[in-house]
């Protein structure tokens, strides 16, 4: 985890930057994008990630590396993969995954050479996975499938069934849409192409907004009694959003039953998961910055990961996301409110508690209110503030950033995650504030992360609000969060 002392001594990062998260994972400086090679190895959680050691911008992609025993405190380790001159990854080590090949940790990643983006393999034999040897026969798949006219081809998800390895590679078929191509191998080195497991339709806008021209970072895994396919939609050179499908994987083809955007907070992309030794399927996503390139360069860092989210299949077959209980260890000073009635049109300021690193557990009965929730990061005069609420008219959970920042270049919008509560249903909003990161969980099912960049040092307040009709706060717990030691 970021240690503020290290941070202050790192000349690359502006120590006065008020937006740098304290307990979400990020490198000591420079650029991060996708989480890569997530693996629970010999009792340690390993996070690798797309990393540019040369600055806080996307370029010369390496694999950064950090390790944690408890999912809270991260120890930064040396770069795991760097481009090798005159080799298949000379222009970048793009995203990929890690597997346990009979006790040998093995990475499958995309090597970039000029226009070529092809699968490469590296192995490690040290316990902490610090040193990696690239396979001399890279790339292990020298060509894309001959019968497909592809938009792009990269990123890997690998698993073993019986004695055979299977791999998905992200791709897009020209004029058709995104897809994930299935391969199999006896040894991770020799691969046979099978077929696409699912193909999107780039012209369709329902039930997902668009499934784009190409699917980046596909991942497939069994969960409870279902299968989950995660994709990140790339369209016309833009990173659009990440989605999941839950459904049936038989006959080596995937049939979706449910699908939805994974996190509609406007920043989340390219998630990856691991299975830990408690059998938990944990997911991390990349939270992109939403401030100007100039501001990112001035701060010396860009990009942060979500907290690990525990995935489950909900009773109706959709995918659930919940925070892990480990986070409770970060709780500091506690304040509790019970049985507060918020009259319609009223805003109740909570002067006892303030902050930009808080955990808030809000049990809310919206009743007939058209909107009920909590303003966070409020300046005393209300010129800066961000609303997290259930909004009946919008039809879901909202994060309203219209007034999050007086900085005109910051995003000013309202993010919505569709959600239909049952009649009289109470809602649980679990909110994590970490400076520029807001991560919200609704009923341990839905998640939404957004970035905010308030300009005022006093934009720290909390304020409950109801619109249209009164709402009841059954309880609200607020904890300050302490950086992991
Ligand atoms: C997703 C992505 C991947 C690629 C990597 C490059 O954000 O574009 O498709 O491997 O990032 O950094």
- Per-residue pLDDT for 417 more than 50? yes
Ligand 1 nearest atom to the CA of residue 110, by list position: 10
Q: 358 CA distance to ligand 1 centroid (A)? A: 31
- As a whole number, mean pLDDT of residues 409-434 equals 93
Look at residues 323, 344, 365 and tell me which one is the last residue of a structural domain. Answer: 323
Q: Are residues 159 and 295 in the same domain?
A: yes
Give the domain CATH number at 6.
2.115.10.20
Average the pLDDT over 95-115 and give the result: 98
pLDDT band at 90 (very low <50, low <70, confident <90, very high): very high
Whether residue 86 is found in the same domain as residue 102: yes
Examine the pLDDT at 9 and tell me if it is beyond 80: no
Model confidence band, residue 393 (pLDDT cutoffs 50, 70, 90): very high
Question: What is the side-by-side strand order in the sheet with 164-173?
Answer: 150-161, 164-173, 177-185, 192-199
Catalytic (active site) residue 477: no
Tokens of 196: 């696409």
How many domains, the chain? 2
Beta strands per DSSP E along 385-470:
386-391, 396-400, 414-418, 427-434, 437-442, 446-451, 461-467
Q: Is 286 in the same domain as 409?
A: no
Mutate to test the pocket of ligand 1, among 180, 216, 233, 272 (most ligand atoms within 8 A of CB): 216
Atom 12, ligand 1: residue with shortest CA distance = 94
What tokens does 154 get? Answer: 């990269």
Question: Does one domain contain both 142 and 280?
Answer: yes
Question: DSSP secondary-structure letter at 295?
Answer: H
Q: Which residues lie with the beta carbon below 6 Å from any ligand 1 atom?
A: 33-34, 50, 61, 94-95, 110, 154-155, 216-217, 239, 269-270
My answer on whether 466 and 355 are in the same domain is yes
Which residues, at least 6 apart from 34, have a Cβ–Cβ distance to it below 8 Å?
49, 50, 95, 217, 269, 270, 272, 286
pLDDT, one tens digit per residue, over 154-176 is 999 999 999 999 999 999 999 99
Residue 34 Cα, ligand 1 centroid: separation in angstroms? 7
Q: What percent of the chain has pLDDT over 70?
A: 98
Atom of ligand 1 nearest to the CA of 61: 12
Q: Which of 3, 17, 34, 91 is catalytic?
A: 34
* Ligand 1 atom at shortest distance from the alpha carbon of 170: 9
Question: Which residue, 291, 323, 355, sits at the end of a domain?
Answer: 323
Same domain, residue pair 364 and 316: no
Within this chain, do residues 314 and 343 fall inside the same structural domain, yes or no?
no
Atom of ligand 1 nearest to the CA of 95: 10
Note whether 319 and 332 are same-domain residues. no
Question: Which residue has the least CA distance to atom 9 on ligand 1?
Answer: 216
Ligand 1 pocket, mutate which of 32, 33, 243 (most atoms under 8 A from CB): 33
**pLDDT over 90 (residue 8):** no
pLDDT-derived band at 4, boundaries 50, 70, 90: very low
Pick the closest to residue 174 from 151, 208, 202 (CA basis).
Answer: 151
- Per-residue model confidence (pLDDT) at position 11: 52
- Distance (angstroms) between ligand 1 centre and the Cα of 94 equals 6
Tell me which residue of 398, 430, 400, 389 sits closest to 307, measured CA to CA.
430
334 and 302 together in one domain: no
380 CA distance to ligand 1 middle (Å): 41
The sign of the torsion formed by the CA atoms of 187, 188, 191, 194 equals: positive
Say if residue 340 is in the same domain as residue 313. no
Q: Which two tokens stand for residue 350?
A: 């909570």
Considering the domain architecture, whether residues 297 and 338 belong to the same structural domain is answered as no
- Report CA-CA distances (Å) from 354 to 361, 373, 391, 457: 15, 16, 24, 12
Query: Residue 416 belongs to a domain with what CATH number?
Result: 2.60.120.560
pLDDT digits 0-9 by tens, 361-391: 999 999 999 999 999 999 999 999 999 999 9
Q: Which of 36, 155, 243, 268 has the most ligand 1 atoms within 8 A of CB, as the residue to mutate?
A: 155
**Which residues span the domain enclosing 194?**
2-323
What are the pLDDT digits (tens) for 182-202?
A: 999 999 999 999 999 999 999
Of ligand 1's listed atoms, the one at least distance from the Cα of 50 is 12
Q: What digits encode the pLDDT tens for the residues 234-275?
A: 998 899 999 999 999 999 999 999 999 999 999 999 999 999
Residue with the smallest CA separation from ligand 1 atom 6 is 94
What's the mean pLDDT in 126-151?
97
Mind listing the pLDDT tens digit for each residue in 320-360? 999 999 999 999 999 999 999 999 999 999 999 999 999 99
Mean pLDDT computed over every residue of the chain: 95
CA distance 270 to 286: 6
The residue among 266, 293, 323 that closes a domain is: 323
Compute the distance from residue 234 Cα to the ligand 1 centre, in Å. Answer: 10
Q: Do 309 and 430 fall within a single domain?
A: no
324-347 residues labelled b (16+ CB within 10 A) or e (exposed): eeebeebeeeeeebeeeebebeee
């Amino acid at each position: 985890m970021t240690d503020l002392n290290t941070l202050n001594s790192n000349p690359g990062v502006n120590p006065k930057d008020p937006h740098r998260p304290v307990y979400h994972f990020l490198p000591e400086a420079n650029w991060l994008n996708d989480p890569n090679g997530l693996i629970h190895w010999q009792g340690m959680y390993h996070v690798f990630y797309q990393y540019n050691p040369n600055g806080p911008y996307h370029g010369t992609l390496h694999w950064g590396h950090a390790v944690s025993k408890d999912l809270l405190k991260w120890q930064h380790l040396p770069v795991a993969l760097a481009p090798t001159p005159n080799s298949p990854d000379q222009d970048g080590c793009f995203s990929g995954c890690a597997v346990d090949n009979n006790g040998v940790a093995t990475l499958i990643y995309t090597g970039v050479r000029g226009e070529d983006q092809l699968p490469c393999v590296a192995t490690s034999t040290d316990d902490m996975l610090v040193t990696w040897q690239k396979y001399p026969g890279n790339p292990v798949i020298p060509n894309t499938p001959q019968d497909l006219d592809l938009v792009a081809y990269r990123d890997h998800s690998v698993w073993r069934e019986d004695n055979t390895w299977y791999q998905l590679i992200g791709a897009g078929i020209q004029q058709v849409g995104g897809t994930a191509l299935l391969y199999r191998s006896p040894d991770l080195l020799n691969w046979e192409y099978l077929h696409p497991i699912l193909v999107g339709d780039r012209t369709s806008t329902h039930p997902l907004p668009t499934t784009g021209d190409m699917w980046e970072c596909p991942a497939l895994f069994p969960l409870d009694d279902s299968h989950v396919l995660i994709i990140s939609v790339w369209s016309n050179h833009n990173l659009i959003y990440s989605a999941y499908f839950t459904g049936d994987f038989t006959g080596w083809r995937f049939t979706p039953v449910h699908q939805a955007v994974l996190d509609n907070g406007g920043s989340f992309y390219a998630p990856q998961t691991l299975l830990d030794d408690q059998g938990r399927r944990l997911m991390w996503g990349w939270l992109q910055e939403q401030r100007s390139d100039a501001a990112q360069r001035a701060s010396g860092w860009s990009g942060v990961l979500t907290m690990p989210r525990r995935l489950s299949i909900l009773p109706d077959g959709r995918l659930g996301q919940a925070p892990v209980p480990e986070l409770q260890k970060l709780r500091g000073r506690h304040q509790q409110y019970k049985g507060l009635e918020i009259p319609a049109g009223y805003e109740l300021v909570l002067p006892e508690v303030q902050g930009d690193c808080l955990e808030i557990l809000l049990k809310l009965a919206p009743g007939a209110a058209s909107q009920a929730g909590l303003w966070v990061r409020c300046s005393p005069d209300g010129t800066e503030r961000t609303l997290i609420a259930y909004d009946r008219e919008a039809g879901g959970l909202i994060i309203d950033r219209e007034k999050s920042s007086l900085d005109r270049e910051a995003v000013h919008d309202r993010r919505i995650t569709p959600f239909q509560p049952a009649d009289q249903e109470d809602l649980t909003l679990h909110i994590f504030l970490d400076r520029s990161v807001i991560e919200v969980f609704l009923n341990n099912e839905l998640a939404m992360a957004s970035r905010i960049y308030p300009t005022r040092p006093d934009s720290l307040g909390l304020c409950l609000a109801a619109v249209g009709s009164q709402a009841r706060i059954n309880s609200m717990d607020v904890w300050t969060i302490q950086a992991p030691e």
